[in-house]
Amino acid sequence: MWVIDIKLCLNESQNGPAAPELANKVEKLKELIVYASTRESFAPAQSIPTCDQEPESGPCNGHLNVHMISDDEIYWVCALCGDEGVVYGWKDLFWNIKNDDLGGEMH
């Protein structure tokens, strides 16, 4: 299981990857944050995120079940391959659609 503090993956401005090799992982985490926080704000959700793991047989592409499990933790699990993880540290980032600290405004 992955446990990721997204801020450790981000540049100083916290708006992109800290290194080029983190670009795909940051993009996937951003997708999870936007999806989960959109659902929590009761706004129309985007399409369900897909798995990006590559087991021996090739890319998985199963749908991810994404849930907030605490105030600052998003849990995901792939319904097809079982890849799972938790991302935290995202609450004050731009991608948080439901930002309680700012009265629901996106920043």
Q: Is residue 55 situated within a structural domain?
A: yes
Q: Is residue 76 situated within a structural domain?
A: yes
Residue 107 lies in a domain: no
pLDDT computed for residue 107 by the predictor? 36
In a domain, 22, yes or no: yes
pTM of the model: 0.83
Asked if pLDDT for residue 40 goes beyond 90, the answer is no
Query: What is the dihedral angle through the alpha carbons of 24, 67, 106, 49, rounded to the nearest 10 degrees?
Result: 40
Count of domains forming the chain: 1
Percent of all residues in the chain with a pLDDT value above 70, rounded to a whole number: 87
The residues facing 75 across adjacent strands are 67, 86
Q: Express each pLDDT in 42-62 by its tens digit.
A: 666 678 999 988 877 788 989
Domain around 93: 2-102
Instruction: Establish if 14 belongs to a structural domain.
Output: yes
Sheet arrangement for strand 73-78? 2-5, 84-88, 73-78, 64-70
